[in-house]
Amino acid sequence: MLFISKSAEFLISNMDIHQAVNYYWVDSSGCKIDFNEFSYQNFKESVASFRQIVEKKGQLTPVPFNSEDIKTIDAKYLINNIEVAIKSWKNSKIKNIPFQIFCEYILPYRVTIEPIEKWRENYQEEYKWITDSLFSLDLKTVMGLAQIDYKTSFHFTWNKESRDEPLPRLGAKHLIFRKKGACEDVAAMVAFIFRAQGIPTAYDKFNLLDQANRDAVANLVYAYNLRVCSAGTWTTIDPSQKGLYDQQIAVDQKPEILKKLDVAVQKEKESKMIKF
């Protein structure tokens, strides 16, 4: 009970500086359009349905809005987040995580300014193989496997396509539903994944010189990475760079999910879609 009250105190004391950025659609008369992309089987179906609405209603306009956490998050959501986070902390394969580290890097219900969603249980179940893998593999190797997982199942959109909606950060549910996004989206998704497994994870942002003009300091782009903590040591995983999966593991020691990942990686190498 003490951990629950202290966790609530930590979240509430920091809640006033956080907000979500989201939007909705209106038609030419200003009427709100009833559309929820998560009502469909997959993102492709939701896009097709939205296009049908546009054909019927005509031009639609997105209306962005901000929601302050302190005004919108209710006690039920907060308590559920705390209880599930504490359970994952206690069951984590990363042992001896101090309470303060838990509060900073496992407990938070959001990563940046994404829409608030209930995400922990879904991510725990979807990526349970990470916890299972830590029975026989070290954290750095599992981090590398997670990197391969999103490189083979998540479409990296940076410098390939833009998001034509006023949604600067995708929510946890968007990420697992759309399976696409840029650096910041991949980094957020991996933060959700590891935090759901009770692994302390920090979301970092740093500047990179524009690759086409390395000497022009004014031309900066942002890259995002994750730092994962174990035994007081932080290891970095960068969504845009070469993976950490550089250890040879005997086939008979691999869980089934890792064998499947090996097959996926080999296919990627053969198609030259990603480089290692």
pLDDT tens-digit series, residues 148-180: 777 778 888 878 888 888 999 999 999 999 999
At residue 53, does pLDDT exceed 60? yes
Which domain, by its residues, includes 26? 2-271
> What average pLDDT score do residues 184-193 get?
86
Q: Supply the pLDDT for residue 236.
A: 67
Is the pLDDT assigned to residue 20 strictly greater than 70?
yes
User: Does 263 score more than 70 pLDDT?
Assistant: no
Q: In what order do the strands lie in the sheet with 220-230?
A: 201-209, 220-230, 233-237
Phi, psi torsion values for 179, nearest 5 degrees: 55, 40
What is the rounded average pLDDT of the residues 28-35? 94
Q: Which amino acid, one-letter code, is at 38?
A: F
Please tell me the predicted confidence (pLDDT) of residue 268.
Answer: 47
Within a domain: 45: yes
Q: Which residues of 215-234 are buried (b: 16+ CB within 10 A; e: fewer)?
A: eeeeeeeebbbbbbbbeeee
**Is 82 among the domain residues?**
yes
d(CA 175, CA 189): 6
Is residue 276 one of the residues assigned to a domain? no
Q: Residue 276 above 70 pLDDT?
A: no
The whole-number average pLDDT for the span 53-77 is 94
Alpha helices in the chain (DSSP H): 2-15, 43-57, 69-72, 75-90, 99-105, 120-126, 128-133, 139-153, 172-178, 183-196, 256-271
Q: What percent of the chain has pLDDT over 90?
A: 48
Mean pLDDT of 33-47: 94
Judge whether 11 lies within some domain: yes
Across residues 39-52, what is the average pLDDT?
Answer: 94
* pLDDT (average), residues 49-77: 94
Its pTM surpasses 0.85: no
Least trusted range by pLDDT, from 17-31, 37-51, 133-147 = 133-147
Highest mean pLDDT among 196-200, 226-230, 253-257: 196-200
pLDDT at position 227:
64
Residue linked to tokens 């209880």: 83
How much is the pLDDT for 66?
96
Question: How far is Cα 64 from Cα 18, in angstroms, rounded to an integer?
Answer: 17
Question: Distance between CA atoms of 66 and 55, rounded to whole angstroms?
Answer: 29
Over residues 179-194, mean pLDDT: 87
pLDDT band at residue 206 under the 50/70/90 scheme: low
Average pLDDT over residues 124-138: 89
Give residue 192's pLDDT band: very low, low, confident or very high (50, 70, 90).
very high
Domain total of the chain: 1
Which tokens sit at 139? 């954290």
